[in-house]
Every structure is written in structure tokens, then in C-alpha cells.
Amino acid sequence: MSDSSEASPSSSRPAFWRNFGRFLGNAALESLDGGKLFYVWMFCLTAVFLVGANAWATQVRDGMALSNMSDHVSWALYIANFTFLVGLAAGGVMMVIPAYLYHDDEMHDIVIIGELLAIAAIIMSLMFVICDLGRPDRFWHLLPPFGRLNFPVSMLSWDVIVLNGYLFINVYICAYLLYMRYLGLTPDPRWYVPFVFLSIVWAISIHTVTAFLYCGLGGRPFWNTALLAPRFLASAFVSGPAFIVLAIQVIRRAVGRHFGDGPIRTLVNIMRITILVNLLMVISEVFTEFYTGGAHTSSARYLYFGLHGHNELVPWIWSSIFLVTTAAVLMLLPSIFTRSWMLNLACVLAFIGIWIEKGMGLIIPGFVPSTLHEIVEYRPSAIEWKITAGIWALGLLIYTLFIKIAAGIVLNRTKMHAIPDEPTAADASPSPVPNS
């Protein structure tokens, strides 16, 4: 948001932390307020979430046997979504870099949309991990000093730390900026700019560490490639901006104000490069796999062409390649900037394409064929789809509420009543949503 270096008037200081509880209350109430469409949307998301919550509770009670996972395919739909969502969270940083590293002022105004996405995505990815645990009641074993976190040896312990750290950093930045705005004060750069730069480094770390989870396993040749982390980042920097562009489009409709043309242009320019880099890396990997051949190619052959008559994943991966390639072509067309339907379509195609590629297309072939070269296929069970849909619904619900809160504060609808609406306070910081 606003990055004015002017110090806030000291006269407003007394209200500082005392009113934080009131801020949260006001924000919560404001977030639950909306038109008919908003209530329908929230009702549907809640309904889907409840179905997922019930499915999860049943899975915990009766055991993971309700999923279609097995000792051969021991991670599947949940971990696939987890991996993708970590990328989505990291992709949110693609707004922060132009805003803070390149001083793109227009991007500054809406960078919070990306940061809030990062928060929602991390919450979702943590929920997917919890749903994948056989014993969620023992999660406290991860928490020192009561538990025993196997740090630094286990990559999963790194992941626990970086994901929670990223969540904390983004919650802090968003809460600080919105609260200052709510109080009518100018944010002090000393209190958030260092964290913004930390979040840039951290965003890269979360997806790198998540890639290391897989590529550190010598017994699984499909994952055991140094290209995995760069591929993760390239695809994250497609899916993140794609989602943010779509979010901006929706917010523009809801808020009824014309903003975000510049940021959308920047995001499309970012995606034009990252989507091509992503495709190039896919080609590089496919080349080394198939040109060399041998036993190590089994998983890739299973993924792309099927192995010994087993071809569960083949339609998935080819639809992913088709979606991403089409999105890349659309994005490269100059008319993407003028035709918003084309832009939306390209973003949707890229998002779904990466979801398949970084999800099922990455996790399942790691297990098929198994380490002893047995082929056991996997197709998600109804309960897995329900839990997955439930978590996505909750994530979208959280994101909607976050955006509503942010919009309420930024548009001066939610604010601290104790402080009079002085023009000085508003003028000190440039309006985050410029009228045009």
C-alpha cells in the first residue's frame, strides 16, 4: 500500500494498539456485509466447506483407507494440492517485486491483493497437510519444546518453518498496513518495508524447500532432478499472477471503480516470460528423460504415454500441456490487453494447466511405478474430492473476506470513528484506489 516516508502526526498516537481489538471486530462485521450475490457466494462456499469438513472427520475416524491411496501411491491428491498452493502463495510475491523493487506506484496500491492471496493459499496448503496426516491429533509432535522437530535434517521440518514463517510475515504486513489505514495514520516504512523485502526472499524459499521435499529423495528418479525447484518457481510465477489478475477483474466489478490497468499489464508481462520459461523447462526435462531412455524413464513414460497398458494420467497431463500452451499463445497476442475475455480465459487456462502439472502430474508419477517397479494406479476417491473441494471453498471464503475487509478499509468505509475524518490524515497518504 502507501509507502509515504512522512512520519505520522504524533497527536494520533494514543489510539495506537489499544484499538486493535476494535479494529478486528469492525473488520469482521464489515466483511460479513454485502449484496445478494455476496451472500449467495458465501452460502455456497460454506456449504461445500461443510461437506469437506464432514468428509475429513469421517476420514480421521475410519482411517485413511477411505482414500484411494495405498502403500504404493502413498501421497496423492492432498499433497498435489498442497504443492500447487505453496506455488500460488509464492506467486503472490510477483506483485511485491514490481511494487517495492521497481517502485511501480500503481502496483503499490493493490499489492495487498497478492499478499492476502499468499495468506489464504498458505492456510489452505497447511490444511491439506493436516488432512494428509494419519494422526492429526499428534501434530504437536512437530512443535518444540514439547515435540521433536527433526531440524535441520528433515526437509519437512524446513517446510514447516518456512510456511509458517511466510504466513506470519504476510499476516503481519497486511495487518499493519490495514490497521494504520484504519486509524487514519501513515504507515511507518521502518515497520514494514524490511518485512516486505524479507517476504520476497521468503516466497522463493517456500517453493524451493517444497521442491527439495521431493528432489531430495534418491530412490525416486522422477523427482530426483535439480530442475525441480526452478520448475516449481517458474510455474508458481504463472499461477500466482494468473489468479491475481482474475481477482483484480472480479474486484473491479464489485467495487465499481476503474483501477488496476497498469498492474494487470505488468502481471501479463511477467506471465509472458514465466509461462515460456516453464514450457522450456518441461521440454528440457522431457528431452533428458526420453532421449536417454532406460529404467529411469518409466515414470515419465507412464505419465505421458502410459506404461504396460496403464494410462490413468495420460489424459490429465496432455490436457495440462494443451491448456498451458494455449494460455501462452493467448498471452503473447497483443490484443490480450484490450480484450478482457481473452485475458480472463488465458488466466483460467494457465491456472488449471499448472494445477494439473504441479499436482497430480508431479506427485503420482513419483510413485508409479513403485520403487520395486510394481505398477499400482491411483484415482482419487469421493472422500478425497470432497475434502479437497472443502479446503478450496474455505480458502476462497477466507480470501473473499480478506478482500472485503481490505476494500472496506481502503475505501474509507471501515475506519476508526474516534479519529475525525480529517483531510490531513487522508492527504498524507496517497489514495490506494485512485479515481480515474
DSSP letters for 246-260: HHHHHHHHHH-----
Please report how close the Cβ of residue 199 comes to other proteins at its closest, in angstroms.
24
Q: Rank residues 132 and 289 by Cβ distance to other proteins and give the closer one.
A: 132
| Torsion angle of the four alpha carbons 427, 432, 435, 436, in this order, in degrees rounded to the nearest 10 | 120
Site for other proteins in 269-328 (CB under 8 A): 295, 298
User: What Cα–Cα distance (Å) separates residue 127 from each residue in 143, 227, 307?
Assistant: 16, 27, 33
| Beta bridge pairs of residue 371 | none
Taking each helix axis as running N to C, give the angle between helix 360-367 and helix 314-332, from 0 to 180 degrees, rounded to the nearest 10: 150
Binding characters for other proteins, 95-134, by CB under 8 A (x = yes) = ----------------------------------x--xxx
Q: Which residues make Cβ contacts (< 8 Å) with residue 25, sequence separation at least 6?
A: none
Residue 198: closest CA among 233, 166, 159: 166
The answer to the question of residue 157 lying near other proteins (CB under 8 A) is: yes
The answer to the question of residue 62 lying near other proteins (CB under 8 A) is: yes
Cell of 313: 494420467
| Beta bridge pairs of residue 218 | none
Q: Which stretch binds other proteins (CB under 8 A): 56-64, 236-244, 256-264, 284-292?
A: 56-64
| Torsion angle of the four alpha carbons 92, 48, 125, 380, in this order, in degrees rounded to the nearest 10 | -120
Binding characters for other proteins, 167-206, by CB under 8 A (x = yes) = ----------------------------------------
**How many CB atoms sit inside 10 A of residue 190's CB?**
9
Please report how close the Cβ of residue 176 comes to other proteins at its closest, in angstroms.
22
Please report how close the Cβ of residue 157 comes to other proteins at its closest, in angstroms.
5
The answer to the question of residue 366 lying near other proteins (CB under 8 A) is: yes
Site for other proteins in 402-421 (CB under 8 A): 408, 413-414
The answer to the question of residue 147 lying near other proteins (CB under 8 A) is: yes
Out of 24, 37, 40, 65, the residue judged to bind other proteins by CB under 8 A: 65
Q: Rank residues 94 and 209 by Cβ distance to other proteins and give the closer one.
A: 209
Q: How far apart are CA 407 and CA 180, in angstroms?
A: 14
Out of 2, 19, 26, 239, the residue judged to bind other proteins by CB under 8 A: 26
Q: How far apart are CA 308 and CA 413, in angstroms?
A: 62
Amino acid (one-letter) located at 266: T
- Cα torsion 212, 216, 217, 223: sign: positive
Binding characters for other proteins, 369-388, by CB under 8 A (x = yes) = xxxxxx--------------
Strand, coil or helix: 371? coil
The answer to the question of residue 226 lying near other proteins (CB under 8 A) is: no
Q: How far apart are CA 155 and CA 187, in angstroms?
A: 37
Amino acid (one-letter) located at 425: A
Q: Which stretch binds other proteins (CB under 8 A): 49-57, 108-116, 180-188, 352-360?
A: 49-57
Q: Rank residues 210 and 239 by Cβ distance to other proteins and give the closer one.
A: 210
Q: How far apart are CA 297 and CA 278, in angstroms?
A: 21
Out of 3, 30, 106, 109, the residue judged to bind other proteins by CB under 8 A: 30
Please report how close the Cβ of residue 155 comes to other proteins at its closest, in angstroms.
7
Q: Residues 242-276, buried b or exposed e (16+ Cβ, 10 A)?
A: bbbbebbbebbebeeeebbeebbebbbebbeebbe
Out of 5, 137, 256, 309, the residue judged to bind other proteins by CB under 8 A: 137
The answer to the question of residue 352 lying near other proteins (CB under 8 A) is: no
Q: Rank residues 147 and 306 by Cβ distance to other proteins and give the closer one.
A: 147
Binding site for other proteins (CB under 8 A): 26, 29-30, 32-33, 46, 50-51, 53-54, 56-58, 60-65, 67, 69-72, 74-75, 129, 132-139, 141-142, 147-150, 153-157, 160, 213, 216-220, 295, 298, 366-367, 369-374, 408, 413-414
